[in-house]
Amino acid sequence: MTSIALYIHVPFCETKCPYCDFNTYAGIEHLVPQYVDALAQELRLWGQALASNPLSDVASPRATIDEGSSQQPVATLFFGGGTPSYLSPEHIQRLMDTARASFHLLPDAEATLESNPGDVTRERLDAWRKAGVNRLSIGAQSLDDGLLHLLGRRHSAAEAMQAYRNARAAGFANINLDLMFGLPGQTLAQWQDTLERVLHLRPEHLSLYCLTLEEGTPLEAWVRGGKVPEPDPDLAADMYELAQEQAGAAGYRRYEISNWALPGYEAQHNLAYWRSQPYLGVGPGAHSYLEGQRFAVTRSPRAYVERVRECSRLAPSLWTPAVLKERGLLESAEAVGARQEMAETMMMGLRLAEGVPDEPFRQRFGLGLQEAYPRQVRELLDLRLLRWEDGRLKLAPRGWLLGNEVFHRFLG
Ligand code: SF4
């Protein structure tokens, strides 16, 4: 039976950062106990549905139940948000226990928890490890206090460094640090300093994201109103190249546009997304892709709690995207056509250094890459944005900086 990636969304943050447009809220902590109950219920119900009904519209007709186990295998589990570390350790333990009881969590499953530096105390770290979390992602974002202030972060650079050291001391052997560049007013020297200090720490994994000014966020309004300087895209490109230069020299491999890892520490959960493998997302606003079906949970945490309660009365055989959409737990559910699936495979797969392999694509869709996309492939090869290597279509060196130029051509 094909294993899946399991995503658990935590829509709470102590304060909302001015650049963030994720489905997360400050000031609704009173909902946490009901939300955790609902989440545990949703996990149990999906576990039952996928175990008892693997050939329904929630799974591929190609999937078959493993003879040894009727539970859906889960290869990776990811607590994302929001701020998962904002939940109490008891809540994390309960959700891990529920996931283990509801699914067949593979023995070597990667279990990641996203955290804010201020929450990364020794006590919590020990509790997360005990619960089964084996990979910690720390939202450091910058090691410059002025930029952290601009980003509305509640921690200092020193606290971010301390969080990392605490995690190491607690025995975490797989740590990711999230950092942002291309920030308003950020200089190349500031970025270089942050990179040097971070590389000196030797986390196993680095996610380095260029700031996107999301419409409707306070930061976007401040930039539009001239209150903070507009980020310079050329400088951001220089920062990206510097990151690749420095991380590469320090032994990290850029395996995805925004992600670098020491050998063997690539994020298995995110690889499942980029390789268009099946995943299940639970919690408000979470997305799922179980072969042939794409669906998203309602975004409002309050509505989520109510809808899970209502839908928990359904028999497992009725726990399907179509029925859950009708009952309002899902805000969207659609069958993904072959053409759309091919486009998504290209757009996600080309983000990876490994690219998109021709032969598996042919086996999956009945067409090779050049037959499926003759014009796009030819043009992108001519523009030296893509290249062929070992039967795979990959980003060429120029393509790494111009990824969006590449991906949008496969839309539609
Ligand atoms: S902590 Fe993370 S998820 Fe929460 S508001 Fe800030 S950026 Fe968004």
**274 touches 395 (CB < 8 A):** no
Task: For residues 204 and 252, give the distance between their C-alpha atoms in angstroms, rounded to a whole number.
Answer: 8
Q: How many CB atoms lie within 10 A of CB 317?
A: 12
Three-state secondary structure call for residue 58: coil
Q: Report the residue among 83, 119, 148, 213 best suited for mutation to probe ligand 1: largest number of ligand atoms under 8 A from its CB.
A: 83
Query: Could you tell me if the CB of 327 is within 6 A of ligand 1?
Result: no
Q: What pTM, to 2 d.p., does this model score?
A: 0.94
Q: Report the residue among 10, 19, 20 best suited for mutation to probe ligand 1: largest number of ligand atoms under 8 A from its CB.
A: 20
Cα(23) to ligand 1 centroid in Å equals: 9
Range 153-175 burial, b when 16+ CB lie within 10 A, else e: bebbbebbbbbbebbbebebebb
Query: Could you tell me if the CB of 82 is within 6 A of ligand 1?
Result: yes
| Structure token pair of residue 306 | 């109510």
Atom of ligand 1 nearest to the CA of 141: 7
| Structure token pair of residue 352 | 């990876």
- Select from 268, 263, 266 the least CA-distant residue to 251: 263
What is the full per-residue pLDDT of the chain (412 aa) written as tens digits? 789 999 999 999 999 999 999 999 999 999 999 999 999 999 999 999 999 765 344 444 333 434 445 899 999 999 999 999 999 999 999 999 999 999 999 999 999 999 999 999 999 999 999 999 999 999 999 999 999 999 999 999 999 999 999 999 999 999 999 999 999 999 999 999 999 999 999 999 999 999 999 999 999 999 999 999 999 999 999 999 999 999 999 999 999 999 999 999 999 999 999 999 999 999 999 999 997 899 999 999 999 999 999 999 999 889 999 999 999 999 999 999 999 999 999 999 999 999 999 999 999 999 999 999 999 999 999 999 999 999 999 999 999 999 989 999 998 6
Task: For residues 327 and 138, give the distance between their C-alpha atoms in angstroms, rounded to a whole number.
Answer: 36
Residue 111: per-residue pLDDT: 98
Between the alpha carbon of residue 268 and those of residues 57, 110, 277, 331, the distances in Å are 26, 7, 11, 28
Residue 316: per-residue pLDDT: 86
Ligand 1, atom 5, lies closest to the CA of 16
**pLDDT tens sequence across 277-316:** 999 999 999 999 997 899 999 999 999 999 999 999 999 8
| Structure token pair of residue 383 | 């523009």
Task: For residues 119 and 122, give the distance between their C-alpha atoms in angstroms, rounded to a whole number.
Answer: 9
Q: Could you tell me the residue ranges of all domains in the chain?
A: 4-273, 340-410
- Select from 143, 127, 51 the least CA-distant residue to 84: 127
The 8 Å CB, 24+ separation contacts for 153-159 are 153/17, 154/14, 154/15, 154/116, 154/118, 155/116, 155/117, 155/118, 159/117, 159/118
Residue 57: per-residue pLDDT: 41
Query: Could you tell me if the CB of 24 is within 6 A of ligand 1?
Result: yes
DSSP assignment string, 105-153:
EEEEEEEEEEE-GGG--HHHHHHHHHHT--EEEEEEE-S-HHHHHHTT-
Q: Which residue has the tokens 């106990």?
A: 33
Three-state secondary structure call for residue 407: helix
Between the alpha carbon of residue 380 and those of residues 121, 345, 361, the distances in Å are 48, 17, 18
Query: Could you tell me if the CB of 48 is within 6 A of ligand 1?
Result: no
Between the alpha carbon of residue 210 and those of residues 141, 236, 281, 292, the distances in Å are 11, 7, 25, 32
- Select from 319, 277, 321 the least CA-distant residue to 295: 321
Residues linked to residue 332 through DSSP beta bridges, in sequence order: 296
Cβ burial of 314 (10 Å; 0-12, 13-18, 19+) is: middle
Quick check: do 4-273 and 340-410 share a fold?
no
Residues linked to residue 7 through DSSP beta bridges, in sequence order: 78, 281
Cα(340) to ligand 1 centroid in Å equals: 31
DSSP assignment string, 198-219:
HHHH--SEEEEEE----TTSHH
Q: Which residue has the tokens 């309050």?
A: 302
Query: Could you tell me if the CB of 180 is within 6 A of ligand 1?
Result: no
Task: For residues 223 and 213, give the distance between their C-alpha atoms in angstroms, rounded to a whole number.
Answer: 9
Cβ burial of 360 (10 Å; 0-12, 13-18, 19+) is: middle
Ligand 1, atom 3, lies closest to the CA of 82
Query: Could you tell me if the CB of 11 is within 6 A of ligand 1?
Result: no
| Structure token pair of residue 85 | 């570390």
The second-level CATH assignment, the architecture, of 340-410 is: Orthogonal Bundle (1.10)
Task: For residues 113 and 138, give the distance between their C-alpha atoms in angstroms, rounded to a whole number.
Answer: 9
The second-level CATH assignment, the architecture, of 4-273 is: Alpha-Beta Barrel (3.20)
Atom of ligand 1 nearest to the CA of 16: 5
Task: For residues 133 and 286, give the distance between their C-alpha atoms in angstroms, rounded to a whole number.
Answer: 20
Q: Report the residue among 12, 24, 85, 141 best suited for mutation to probe ligand 1: largest number of ligand atoms under 8 A from its CB.
A: 24
